[in-house]
């Protein structure tokens, strides 16, 4: 389970979440520069790589925009206060900004939606560019009407799929397969899979329009 993904459009890069293994992920990706960090929610598996962007911030020479819902910003400021303020010898790493429901990354249009995730919400995203679309729906356990509207008809839907059986805070296989059919997505990629999700078994079992995602996977339009 590697809970970080990098979106790039027209040379601009948005990193979504900073999981604990972010350092290795960035090295594997060739140490790309990042223009902003978006945090979907404050769970540890999405946020505790928060220190790993320090070299990028130092190279930029200014704090990295940190996009999230206001309650997530407040929670992260409480837990990682040093990362958001200038201290005597250390400049702030992040410049927090309450995320808009719609914004641009390069020439891609980005829209976000709040997804139920146990007692909290996580942000789901849809990117549109040149008539193509990809959506990233991490950490949800229920599909709201707003989510259904946003994800409807996307070319690629990357969806949370923790396990085979229902789970109180995450999506499971039948749930995302049913939703993908209902939304008429072009392709479904499963992510955030737990240890019980075997890659080869899933690949053999899934319809040809669905597949488990994997580390280092790149989707290009």
Beta bridge partners of 98: 68
We find the least distance from the C-beta atom of residue 45 to Zn ion, in angstroms, to be: 4
Centre a 10 Å sphere on the Cβ of residue 40 and count the other Cβ atoms it contains: 29
Q: How far apart are CA 11 and CA 167, in angstroms?
A: 38
We find the least distance from the C-beta atom of residue 192 to Zn ion, in angstroms, to be: 6
Q: Which is nearer to Zn ion, 57 or 143 (CB)?
A: 143
Structure tokens at 34: 């990042």
We find the least distance from the C-beta atom of residue 211 to Zn ion, in angstroms, to be: 20
Centre a 10 Å sphere on the Cβ of residue 54 and count the other Cβ atoms it contains: 14
Q: Which is nearer to Zn ion, 108 or 112 (CB)?
A: 112
- Residue, CB closest to Zn ion: 43
Centre a 10 Å sphere on the Cβ of residue 86 and count the other Cβ atoms it contains: 10
We find the least distance from the C-beta atom of residue 55 to Zn ion, in angstroms, to be: 25
We find the least distance from the C-beta atom of residue 214 to Zn ion, in angstroms, to be: 17
Q: Which is nearer to Zn ion, 57 or 147 (CB)?
A: 147
The set of residues, in sequence order, having a beta carbon less than 8 Å from that of 141 and lying 6+ positions away, is 116, 117, 118, 167, 168, 169, 170, 171
Q: Using alpha carbons only, how large is the chain's radius of gyration in Å? A: 17
Q: How far apart are CA 112 and CA 110, in angstroms?
A: 7
Q: Which is nearer to Zn ion, 57 or 193 (CB)?
A: 193
Q: Which is nearer to Zn ion, 92 or 163 (CB)?
A: 163
We find the least distance from the C-beta atom of residue 122 to Zn ion, in angstroms, to be: 6
Contact residues: Zn ion, CB under 5 A: 43, 45, 139
Q: Which is nearer to Zn ion, 57 or 67 (CB)?
A: 67
For residues 210 and 190, is the Cβ–Cβ distance under 8 A? yes
Cα 213 to chain centroid, rounded: 13
62 CB-contact burial (10 Å; exposed 0-12 / middle 13-18 / buried 19+): exposed
């Amino acid at each position: 389970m590697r809970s970080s993904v990098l979106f790039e459009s027209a040379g601009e890069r948005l990193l979504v979440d900073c999981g604990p293994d972010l350092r290795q992920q960035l090295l594997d990706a060739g140490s790309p520069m990042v223009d902003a960090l978006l945090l979907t929610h404050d769970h540890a598996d999405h946020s505790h790589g928060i220190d790993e962007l320090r070299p990028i911030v130092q190279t930029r020479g200014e704090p990295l925009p940190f996009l999230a819902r206001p309650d997530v910003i407040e929670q992260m400021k409480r837990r990682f206060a040093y990362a958001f303020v200038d201290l005597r010898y250390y400049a702030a790493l992040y410049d927090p900004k309450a995320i808009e429901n719609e914004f641009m990354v390069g020439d891609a249009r980005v829209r976000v939606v709040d997804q139920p995730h146990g007692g909290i919400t996580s942000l789901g995203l849809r990117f549109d560019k040149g008539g193509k679309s990809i959506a990233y729906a991490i950490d949800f356990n229920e599909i709201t009407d707003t989510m259904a509207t946003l994800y409807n008809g996307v070319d690629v839907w990357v969806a949370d799929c923790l396990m085979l059986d229902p789970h109180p805070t995450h999506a499971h296989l039948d749930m995302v397969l049913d939703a993908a059919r209902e939304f008429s997505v072009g392709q479904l990629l499963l992510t955030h899979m737990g240890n019980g999700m075997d890659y080869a078994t899933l690949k053999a079992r899934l319809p040809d329009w669905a597949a488990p995602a994997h580390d280092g996977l790149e989707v290009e339009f």
